[in-house]
Amino acid sequence: MWNLNHTNPLYLVLAALGVGIGLAVVREIDRRDWYLAAIALAVTILSALDERRLALRLGVVGDPSAWLPTPIFVAAVVLLVALRCGLNRRVAWSIAGAVFGSFVCLFWHIPAIWIIPGALAMPLGAMIGEEVIRVIAKPTGPTVLRFVAIANFGIPIAVGCTDLFLRLSTP
């Protein structure tokens, strides 16, 4: 009933948010372009291999949408090119999010209108990832308290409410 898989439009938004967080964390750890590209490529390849193995086991390998990886490498390359062209960081993240969303829509047949929330979610994810690294690199009382509160209370409450909503509204 809920279609909680890659074909759900919310997958694009959540994936863009998560990829933004991940790429920002890697970028904050090491600013070299090749490092970000190499990590993104490795994650994409490993994901593709894992998804393909599962598709083979389930007998759906003939359908590429069953095993295509999340286009993390594409987003990373677009981000790096946009930054090299001198674009503002938030604009570069938005462009990477839009291209990421375009590939997700193409792979999993999601309506193209969902590219817009994906383009907005990736810079938000980047801001979250950058903030996480800032808290870890230079911890202060208020930032650590905020981080711990969100990680230990905010996220579990949000996930719990979503779980309860799905359980109560599923026939």
Rounded mean pLDDT of the chain? 92
Residues 6+ apart with CB under 8 A from 59: none
How far is Cα of residue 82 from the mean position of the Cα atoms in its chain? 18
**In angstroms, rounded to a whole number, what is the distance separating the alpha carbons of residues 48 and 68?**
6
Same domain for 87 and 145, yes or no, is no
The count of other CB atoms within 10 Å of the CB of residue 74 is 19
Specify if 1 maps to a domain. no
Specify if 111 maps to a domain. yes
Same domain for 75 and 105, yes or no, is yes
Q: The tokens of 2 are what? A: 């809920």
Q: How many domains does the chain have?
A: 2
Write out pLDDT tens, residues 10-38. Answer: 889 999 999 999 999 999 999 999 999 99
Write out pLDDT tens, residues 59-113. Answer: 988 888 888 999 999 999 999 999 999 999 999 999 999 999 999 999 999 999 9
End-to-end CA distance of the chain: 9
Specify if 3 maps to a domain. no
> Whole-structure pTM over 0.75, yes or no?
yes
Domain extent for 151: 139-171
Classify residue 39 by burial, with Cβ atoms within 10 Å: 0-12, 13-18, 19+: buried
Same domain for 56 and 102, yes or no, is yes
Same domain for 54 and 14, yes or no, is yes
